[in-house]
């Protein structure tokens, strides 16, 4: 392994991507300074420390030839699997989930890094398995990608961390579809979505006498079922399962066009917003800065997605292309789910907003992913 940046790499540095990421990070720290106002802990200071560590990690990733990262994809994947298994024995339980390792005052969430491990491993599988004359992937050829996804998905789901498991599943599905699958598999996917809609209708919406005959509802934990029912009927339990979503929508709506001003948000200041520095950080932004600044934030995220896909389409090899698409998929689905849940369009799943929410593991994993994009872009004409 050699650590170096050559002069010919410099013209290919994706400055647009870097600027967009740093802009979101800066807005995130500014927003956290309001979300964590006194007398509560000023977590924005810790976030600045995490950002400094993350930028250092990005620089290290950029120095490494990503062909070496390709060779290390399997060890990285296996290490993350072992960490998820170790959580069952040494994990710290918080909010009903055994998802963290507690190391003194710091916490590390392996599931965040597992998302990178899955992307790298899927990219390696699709790179190594490529045959020019081979048709699109059918059911038989998909056993490797499915196995790569199924193991971490199951380990994260049983923590239980439904939100992160869903992100692993959606981003992996995006990569698999990018790898070209047969038409009947796409048809099966569409049928699966329709079947899920029928299950939700039967278990939560259909007007039948209680006890209601259910398909999957009785297999869910109580809080998971309450989140779905609260999403479908937000006003049914405003003091219970619907509280988070209701308070979030009040905050978002009360921001209006221009917002109430930095540190002037009443929902934020009076602590009506739950988890306002993590899962519901977008609600804080919307209340204090309004619709116009929300559009600006979405434009910055859109720029990250576009520049990231540009890296993939210009990548030198299949591994680089699949890594880029995978990283963008992870970020897109996380932004989509987080903003969707805080405005009431999607159920609350405990998903953080990338680069905006407080959290060292989340920020470091996202920045490492960005580092991979920069690395792939810089070396697209190297070999």
> Residue 4: its pLDDT value, please?
63
Joined tokens for residue 27: 């807005």
Q: Which strands form 92-94's sheet, in the order they lie side by side?
A: 92-94, 97-103, 106-108
> Residue 19: its pLDDT value, please?
96
Q: Is 6 exposed, middle or buried (0-12, 13-18, 19+ CB in 10 A)?
A: exposed
> Residue 24: its pLDDT value, please?
96
Q: In whole angstroms, give the CA distance from residue 149 to residue 153.
A: 6
> Residue 1: its pLDDT value, please?
57
CB count within 10 Å of CB 357 equals 26
Does the residue 212 lie in any domain?
no
Q: Where are the beta strands (DSSP E) in the chain?
A: 92-94, 97-103, 106-108
Joined tokens for residue 325: 């698409």
Element (H, E) at 379: none
Peptide bond preceding 128 in cis form (omega within 30 of 0) = no
Does the residue 186 lie in any domain?
no
Does the residue 382 lie in any domain?
no
Does the residue 143 lie in any domain?
yes
Contacts of 118 (CB under 8 A, 6+ apart): 77, 148, 149, 152, 168, 171, 172, 326
How many domains does the chain fold into?
A: 1
Q: In whole angstroms, give the CA distance from residue 124 to residue 97.
A: 31
Joined tokens for residue 111: 């599931």
In the predicted model, residues of the chain with pLDDT beneath 50 are none
Does the residue 176 lie in any domain?
yes
Does the residue 204 lie in any domain?
no
> Residue 55: its pLDDT value, please?
94
Q: Which of 67, 118, 121 is nearest to 380 (CA)?
A: 67
Does the residue 269 lie in any domain?
yes
Does the residue 215 lie in any domain?
no
Peptide bond preceding 249 in cis form (omega within 30 of 0) = no
> Residue 183: its pLDDT value, please?
82
Q: In whole angstroms, give the CA distance from residue 101 to residue 104.
A: 10
User: Which domain covers residue 18, as residue numbers?
Assistant: 11-181+220-367
Helix, strand, or coil (residue 188):
helix
> Residue 15: its pLDDT value, please?
93
> Residue 301: its pLDDT value, please?
97
> Residue 130: its pLDDT value, please?
78
Question: DSSP letters along 121-164, please?
Answer: HHHHHHHHT--TT--SB-TTTTHHHHHHHHHHHHHHHTTT-HHH
Q: In whole angstroms, give the CA distance from residue 222 to residue 227.
A: 9
Q: In whole angstroms, give the CA distance from residue 285 to residue 262.
A: 9
């Amino acid at each position: 392994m050699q650590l170096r940046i050559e002069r010919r790499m410099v013209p290919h540095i994706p400055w647009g991507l870097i600027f967009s990421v740093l802009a979101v990070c800066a807005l995130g720290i500014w927003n956290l300074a309001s979300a964590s106002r006194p007398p509560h802990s000023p977590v924005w200071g810790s976030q600045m420390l995490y950002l400094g560590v993350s930028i250092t990690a990005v620089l290290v990733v950029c120095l490494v030839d990503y062909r070496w990262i390709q060779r290390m994809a399997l060890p990285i994947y296996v290490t993350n699997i072992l960490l998820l298994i170790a959580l069952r024995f040494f994990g710290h339980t918080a909010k009903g989930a055994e998802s963290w390792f507690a190391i003194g005052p710091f916490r590390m969430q392996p599931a965040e890094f597992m998302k990178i491990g899955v992307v790298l491993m899927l990219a390696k599988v699709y790179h190594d398995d490529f045959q020019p004359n081979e048709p699109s992937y059918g059911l038989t050829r998909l056993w490797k990608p499915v196995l790569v996804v199924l193991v971490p998905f199951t380990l994260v789901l049983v923590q239980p961390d439904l939100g992160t498991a869903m992100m692993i599943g959606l981003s992996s599905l995006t990569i698999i579809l990018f790898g070209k699958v047969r038409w009947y598999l796409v048809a099966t996917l569409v049928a699966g979505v329709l079947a899920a809609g029928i299950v939700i209708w039967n278990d939560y919406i259909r007007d039948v006498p209680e006890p209601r005959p259910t398909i999957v509802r009785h297999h869910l934990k109580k809080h998971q079922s309450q989140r779905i029912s609260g999403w479908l009927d937000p006003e049914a339990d405003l003091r219970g399962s619907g509280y988070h979503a209701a308070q979030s929508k009040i905050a978002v709506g009360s921001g209006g066009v221009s917002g109430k001003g930095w540190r002037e948000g009443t929902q934020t200041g009076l602590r009506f917003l739950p988890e306002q520095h993590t899962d519901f950080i977008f609600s804080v932004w919307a209340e204090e800065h309004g619709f116009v600044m929300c559009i600006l934030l979405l434009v910055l995220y859109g720029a990250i997605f576009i520049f990231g896909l540009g890296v993939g389409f210009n990548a030198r090899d299949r591994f680089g292309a699949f890594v880029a698409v995978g990283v963008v998929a992870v970020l897109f689905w996380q932004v989509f789910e987080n903003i969707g849940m805080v405005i009431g369009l999607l159920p609350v799943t405990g998903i953080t907003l990338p680069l905006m929410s407080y959290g060292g593991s989340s920020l470091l994993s996202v920045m490492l992913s960005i580092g991979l994009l920069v690395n792939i872009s810089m070396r697209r004409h190297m070999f």
